[in-house]
C-alpha cells in the first residue's frame, strides 16, 4: 500500500491495536510517538505487565508515552512538541478535548463496526450475538461524545456462519489496518469528505459486557442461544450453572451448535450419550462442542464424555 509522509502519534492498548501499529511500521509510516496505558501489576507475582502496543513499540524502538492523567500539563506539552499532523486512536481511552484538538489535521479513531451502528465497547461481540450478516470497520474524527464523530471512511465484510467473536476480531483487525492506511493517505491529500452520523431509533448499541451478561438463557430460541455463545467466544465466554444432587458448578461454553427438532424433554435438561452432550431448548437442542469445567482447561466434549459423571437429574440453570 502507498504510504503517506505525515508524522503521526499512535494511541492504543490491546493486541488489536498492536497489530495495526505493526502494519503501520512495516509500511514505513512516520510515528512520532506511541501513547498507551501505564504498566499494570498482573498475575500471582504481581509483576508489571506491558500492553501489547507498548511491546510492539519498543520492539521497533519507538518513543512510548504512558500518562496516568491525559490532562497532565507535561503530557500535553510533550504531545504538542511532537508536531504530529494526525493522532490515530485504536482501542484506547476516551480522550479529553485538549488532547484530540492538538494535531493540525485532527484526531481519528478506528471503530470495529459500520457506524453509526454498534457504538460502544463491544461491537464485535454484539454483531455476532445479534446474528448480523455484515459488519466492518469505520474511521471517524473524534468529538466530545463516544463513537459519534464525523465518518471519514468505512470497509465492510460478510460475517460467516462459522464466525465467532474471536475469528471476526482477527478479520476486522486486518481490515482495520488497511482502512487506517487508506484514511491517512486521504487526509494527507485532502481528499477525505467526513459525513456526520445519523441518529434514529433503528440504531443498535454495543455496550460493555459484564460477567452476568454472559449467562446463557436456555428459554430462548436455539439459534439465538447459538449466536450468543459464538458472540461470547473466546472472550468473555458464555456460561451456565450445571446442577445435580443440589451441587452447582459453573460450566463455560466456548463452542456449540443448534439442532432444530421437536422433542418432549424439559427445557434446560441435559442429554448425554457416548457421542454428544446436549441441552434441551424449546425448539430443539444445543449440542455442546467445547466446554470448560472448573479448574480444568477448555476441552472438546468428546474428550470429556467418558469421564463426565452426569446423573439423570442433572440440569442447567
- Give every CB contact of residue 262 below 8 A, 6+ residues apart in sequence: 284
Q: Per the structure block, which three cell numbers stand in for 274?
A: 457416548
pLDDT at res. 47: 86
CA distances to 12, 21, 68, 74, 225 from 81, rounded to whole Å, are: 20, 21, 19, 11, 52
How far is 240 from 253, CA to CA, in rounded Å? 8
What's the mean pLDDT in 37-44? 86
Q: What is the arithmetic mean of pLDDT over 107-130?
A: 98
Q: Which residues contact 212 (CB under 8 A, 6 or more apart)?
A: none
pLDDT at residue 190 in the model = 95
pLDDT mean over 93-106: 97
Quote the pTM value. 0.94
Are the C-beta atoms of residues 216 and 252 closer than 8 Å to each other? Answer: no
Question: For residue 89, what is the enclosing H or E element?
Answer: strand 86-90
- Looking from the CA of 278 toward its CB, the CA atoms found within 13 Å total 23
Domains of the chain: 8-189 (3.40.50.12230), 211-316 (3.10.25.10)
Looking at residue 274, its pLDDT comes to: 79
Nearest-angstrom CA–CA distance, 27 and 56? 15
**pLDDT tens-digit map of 249-282:** 899 999 999 999 999 999 999 888 878 899 999 9
Amino acid at each position: 500500500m502507498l504510504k503517506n509522509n505525515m508524522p503521526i502519534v499512535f494511541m492504543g492498548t490491546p493486541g488489536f491495536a498492536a497489530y495495526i501499529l505493526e502494519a503501520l511500521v512495516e509500511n514505513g509510516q512516520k510515528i512520532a510517538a506511541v501513547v498507551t496505558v501505564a504498566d499494570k501489576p498482573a498475575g500471582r507475582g504481581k509483576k508489571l505487565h506491558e500492553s501489547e502496543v507498548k511491546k510492539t513499540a519498543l520492539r521497533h524502538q519507538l518513543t512510548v508515552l504512558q500518562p496516568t492523567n491525559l490532562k497532565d500539563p507535561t503530557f500535553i506539552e510533550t504531545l504538542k512538541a511532537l508536531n504530529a499532523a494526525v493522532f490515530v486512536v485504536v482501542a484506547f481511552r476516551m480522550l479529553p478535548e485538549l488532547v484530540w484538538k492538538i494535531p493540525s489535521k485532527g484526531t481519528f479513531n478506528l471503530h470495529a463496526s459500520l457506524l453509526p451502528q454498534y457504538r460502544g465497547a463491544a461491537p464485535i461481540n454484539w454483531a455476532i450475538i445479534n446474528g448480523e450478516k455484515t459488519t466492518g470497520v469505520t474511521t471517524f474524527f473524534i468529538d466530545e461524545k463516544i463513537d459519534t464523530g464525523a465518518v471519514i471512511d468505512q470497509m465492510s465484510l460478510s460475517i460467516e456462519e462459522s464466525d465467532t467473536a474471536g475469528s471476526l476480531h482477527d478479520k476486522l483487525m486486518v481490515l482495520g489496518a488497511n482502512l487506517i492506511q487508506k484514511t491517512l493517505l486521504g487526509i494527507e491529500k485532502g481528499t477525505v469528505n467526513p459525513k456526520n452520523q445519523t441518529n434514529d431509533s433503528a440504531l443498535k448499541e454495543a455496550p460493555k459486557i459484564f460477567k452476568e451478561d454472559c449467562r446463557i438463557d436456555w428459554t430462548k430460541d436455539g439459534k439465538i442461544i447459538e449466536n450468543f455463545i459464538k458472540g461470547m467466544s473466546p472472550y468473555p465466554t458464555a456460561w451456565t450453572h450445571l446442577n445435580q444432587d443440589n451441587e452447582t458448578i459453573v460450566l463455560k461454553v466456548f463452542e456449540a451448535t443448534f439442532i432444530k427438532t421437536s422433542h418432549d424433554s424439559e427445557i434446560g435438561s441435559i442429554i448425554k450419550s457416548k457421542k454428544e452432550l446436549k441441552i434441551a431448548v424449546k425448539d430443539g437442542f444445543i449440542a455442546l462442542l467445547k466446554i470448560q469445567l472448573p479448574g480444568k482447561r477448555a476441552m472438546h466434549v468428546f474428550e470429556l464424555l467418558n469421564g463426565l459423571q452426569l446423573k439423570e437429574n442433572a440440569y442447567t440453570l
